[in-house]
Structure 1
Amino acid sequence: MTGDTLLRVEDLRTTFPSGSGEIAAVDGVTLEVPRGRTLGIVGESGCGKSMLSLSIMRLVPSPGRLAQGRVVLEDRDLAALSPSQMRAVRGSEIAMIFQEPMTSLNPVHSIGDQITEAMRAHDAKASDDELRTRAIEALRRVRIPSPERRFAEYPHQLSGGMRQRVMIAMALSCRPRLLIADEPTTALDVTVQAQILDLLRDLQQETGMSVILITHDLGVVAEMADEVAVMYAGRVVERGTAADIFNDPQHPYTIGLLGSIPRIEEDRERLLSIDGSVPPPFAFPKGCRFHPRCPFATRACTEADPPLRELSPGHRAACIRAPVENILDIAA
């Protein structure tokens, strides 16, 4: 790990038992999160993005388990910590914003109680008055109006955008060094989505934290991410800077995702689309896992399981045809 790297995931494999043996929802993922920067993880539903985030947090639902690999936060392997040691890390060093705030917040507890509970877990000596003051300040920091009043309200009394701000306030209440935002703008309208993204950007600049942004929305990734990892069928199939991924994509899956976005400067009757759907973990094909849906697939793709290869400094792709010049033009 370099001094500029806060978190490194090394060959991580998360499995679940099945009648035919263990199946891998996350299969051999390696990536790095630089200090103070944003890593975007993108892909369709079912690609393993959320399971990867739960694996980093050691929150994989039973009977799933981390079967292989390391999750290194600076010099500590989180995969090797005891449950009590990991509880001390969650919230204070790594925090997470979950997809749907209405289901993540407890409907029978006030907003204030839920924020102060997270603080109390990491600062047992703080008084109730001190925790209340800090919680109200956290609500004010995420630009919730009248935070003293909102402190006593319940989740159903807030809008979707307000609930998401509460989740952000809760996640940042102990000033973690890494924030994992799993689809933080899902189910929000465009205006509120822009406000939440602006808020996350401002808070990152204010605190210097690193961010893992998990989304299927490439527009959000283009706006927020410094580096991007594209996931498919439990694996990272392309990694690079945002400029690499958007200007010079080299994996056919990345090309398909980008081709599905309407571009104002192009006059197309139809957008590109990717036929089929992501296979479930118990039905991953042999060879390249994307080959059944890939318009460029050859016989070799059904036999070889291509590793991530470095195509240029910092830009890697898992495709036997890469690198290909002007591959976006070929796809069009």
Structure 2
Amino acid sequence: MGVSNAPLLRVEGLRTLFSTSAGDIAAVDGVSLEVPRGKTLGIVGESGCGKSMLSLSIMGLVPRPGRVGAGRVLLEDINLTGLTPAGMRAVRGAGIAMIFQEPMTSLNPVHTVGDQIVEAMRAHDAGASEAELRKRAIDALRRVRIPSPERRFGEYPHQLSGGMRQRVMIAMALACRPRLLIADEPTTALDVTVQAQILDLLRDLQAETGMSVILITHDLGVVAEMADEVAVMYAGRVVERGTARDIFEDPQHPYTIGLLGSIPRIEEDRERLLSIDGSVPPPFALPQGCRFHPRCPFAIRACTEKDPPLRELSPGHQAACIRAPVEAVVECLV
């Protein structure tokens, strides 16, 4: 029996709403994307673009007073947005697992790291003995290359370095061998050497297990190294998506162009990097028309009148810009 070519995860028109005194506001607004089997989807954008809220919406962990107001999240043929809380708990860990941004706040400081990994395993295998769970937890620590895993099993989060805590989070996330791993800024606050080690580890574990990965980051260098496909988010929406080659070699949304122009390149001699003026608008104060037009060097009057949808520019490459294909890409990037 052959392996299905259908994507492992499909997000269709997802809207995550928060109730306020002024009415509902959308932190995630009509996002659609797919995650292929065994591949990595990079989701990029500045802070405040909705990346982390999208991941929490997929996991069914939107904090109150937020809720998923429209759309579907399909893990294979299972509609996650239609599950009961108990049904969603059964999916977390075994179907989808998540590495949160800051391991020091995600790990419980009053429990050993071993107990926390065992707890995650026990939730999906209540019949296993304590000795078996302990052995599997130590094996999980060994898989993420933590030295002396038997000793580390009994240590508390504050006794570990930042890189070690991140490895514990990865071990916990992979303890039940999920089909999809969501890594939300997995290298935040780590130095470049440890960051490289964590990325190498994720890549090796993906090759070993065949899992799919959603990598959420603002670091385009990490995306270039890890991602097969990329979705660029701005103000709660996906404004461009395509293969990594599409995004890095032929960016078509002005926001993507600006992000790429701000990256130093060792092969280029430039006195000054590009920058994007202004900041991401909050969801309760979005501009009329294209949400990026107040910061866009290519904006024209029509950009202020209608928020453009994603449209196909080439097979698999989409951008939400009325001026795409952008003729000034090369000039903007040099």
Using structure 2 for the length normalisation, give the TM-score.
Answer: 0.98
Separation in 2, partners of 1:270, 1:158? 39
Instruction: List aligned pairs for 1:24-63, cutoff 5 A.
Output: 24-63=26-65
Deviations 1:77-114 (A, max 9, x none): 00000000000000011000000000000000001100
Instruction: Give the structure 2 partner of residue 244 of structure 1.
Output: 246
Instruction: Give the structure 2 partner of residue 189 of structure 1.
Output: 191
Instruction: Give the structure 1 partner of residue 202 of structure 2.
Output: 200
Separation in 1, partners of 2:163, 2:286? 37
Instruction: Give the structure 1 partner of residue 135 of structure 2.
Output: 133
Separation in 2, partners of 1:32, 1:284? 26
Instruction: Give the structure 1 partner of residue 75 of structure 2.
Output: 73
Separation in 2, partners of 1:189, 1:114? 25
Instruction: Give the structure 2 partner of residue 296 of structure 1.
Output: 298
Separation in 1, partners of 2:329, 2:116? 50
Instruction: Give the structure 2 partner of residue 159 of structure 1.
Output: 161
SS state at 1:22 partner: strand
Separation in 2, partners of 1:235, 1:127? 46
Separation in 1, partners of 2:97, 2:268? 40
Cα separation, partners in 2 of 1:56 and 1:331, compared to 1, 3 Å: same
User: Match of 2:93, as an amino acid?
Assistant: G
Separation in 1, partners of 2:149, 2:305? 59
**2:44 and 2:219 in contact (8 A); partners too:** yes
**Aligned with residue 271 of structure 1, among 270, 273, 296:** 273
Instruction: Give the structure 2 partner of residue 173 of structure 1.
Output: 175
Instruction: List aligned pairs for 1:308-323, cutoff 5 A.
Output: 308-323=310-325
SS state at 2:223 partner: helix
SS state at 1:191 partner: helix
Separation in 2, partners of 1:325, 1:202? 39
Separation in 2, partners of 1:248, 1:328? 9
Q: Number of paired residues?
A: 331
Separation in 1, partners of 2:329, 2:21? 41
User: Match of 1:155, as an amino acid?
Assistant: P
Separation in 1, partners of 2:234, 2:156? 38
**1:249 and 1:328 in contact (8 A); partners too:** no
Cα separation, partners in 2 of 1:224 and 1:331, compared to 1, 3 Å: closer
TM superposition shift of 1:328: 3.0
Instruction: Give the structure 1 partner of residue 285 of structure 2.
Output: 283
Separation in 1, partners of 2:54, 2:193? 29
TM superposition shift of 1:324: 2.6
**2:94 and 2:178 in contact (8 A); partners too:** yes
Separation in 2, partners of 1:101, 1:287? 39
> What percentage of residue pairs aligned between the two structures are identical?
84
**1:39 and 1:229 in contact (8 A); partners too:** yes
**1:97 and 1:180 in contact (8 A); partners too:** yes
User: Match of 2:138, as an amino acid?
Assistant: I
TM superposition shift of 1:208: 0.1
Separation in 2, partners of 1:110, 1:27? 39
Separation in 2, partners of 1:129, 1:151? 13
**Aligned with residue 146 of structure 1, among 140, 145, 148:** 148
